[in-house]
Amino acid sequence: MIGVFDSGVGGLTVLKALAAELPAEHFLYLGDTARLPYGTKSAETVVRYALQATEALCERGIECLVIACNTASAVSLPALRERILDVPVIGVIEPGAEAACAASHSGRIAVLATEGTVRGGAYQEAILRRRAGAKVTALAAPLFVALAEEGLSEGPIAETIAHHYLDPLLAAPHGPPDTLVLGCTHFPMLARAIRGATGPEVCIVDSAQTTARHVRRTLEDAGLAARAGEGSLRLLATDAPQRFARIGSRFLERRIEPDEVELIDL
């Protein structure tokens, strides 16, 4: 069973990609909805929350842990790997950075993320670690989060906001990026609007999909991948299961009934 952890519903885009990549696997998803957002919290607090969530998932018998939260991936991954020694622990930032470096021809890479992720610099660091000469621009797009959760991910509002964020980036005097990383789990919901603003020339890297492929390779290399049978999903939340079900249905692209979401206390 694969455990997937996020501060809320955004990580369901990662879960959806994981289920498509690994259809025979059993998944346990935990959204820490009582304490979101993580981006405004101190690093020490995020590490503490992430450790508590991880322990709750490990108690339920997971064989792999996916941190489907950019903030938690950025600040808590080393602590989680030190504490959880018997299962692979995978974040969303490293796979996204690796895919961006592989995709970019010019070395001009942009990261579209939340303010907290941009400020923390984890994507910039991960990209430059792999490609020292890269020109990395990180851009905060906080309105995308609200649009995704309100079900306004397509249409004129989303398109206007996408142009608001991306037009200045693409008109940069030193040259536009040839690769754009969607560095927030909410942002794949706005992929069509983002593509409309960038045009076809820019390669868009979806960190949810790159993480899912990385998880599949990790499980296969470890001999842990399920190869047959029908997968399953259990959903856990720390607050407001009805809201989790309502908004999460959009992210997962299937209806979630409130009684499918188990309320837990960390």
What structural domains and CATH numbers belong to the chain? 2-91+209-263 (3.40.50.1860), 93-207 (3.40.50.1860)
pLDDT of residue 195: 97
Active site residue 101: no
CB–CB of 9/251 below 8 Å? yes
pLDDT of residue 40: 81
* Amino acid identity at 158: A
**Per-residue pLDDT band at 228 (split at 50, 70, 90):** confident
pLDDT of residue 173: 76
- Mean pLDDT across the chain, nearest whole number? 93
Q: What is the pTM of this model?
A: 0.91
CB–CB of 186/149 below 8 Å? yes
Q: Tell me the mean pLDDT in the region 91-105.
A: 95
**Per-residue pLDDT band at 223 (split at 50, 70, 90):** confident
Active site residue 184: yes
Of the listed 64, 101, 184, 203, which one is catalytic?
184
Residue 122 has phi, psi (to 5 degrees) of: -65, -40
DSSP, collapsed to helix, strand or coil, labels residue 18 as helix
Of the listed 64, 69, 101, 203, which one is catalytic?
69
* Amino acid identity at 145: V
* 265: CB partners within 8 A, 6+ apart: 238
Q: Tell me the mean pLDDT in the region 223-236.
A: 87
pLDDT of residue 41: 87
DSSP, collapsed to helix, strand or coil, labels residue 200 as coil
Q: Is the pLDDT of residue 26 over 90?
A: yes
- Convert 211-230 into a string of H (helix), E (strand) and C (coil): HHHHHHHHHHHHCCCCCCCC
pLDDT tens for residues 114-169?
Answer: 888 898 899 999 999 999 999 999 999 999 999 999 999 999 999 999 999 999 99
Q: Is the pLDDT of residue 91 over 80?
A: yes
Give me the torsion for CA of 94, 82, 12, 141, rounded to 10°: -50
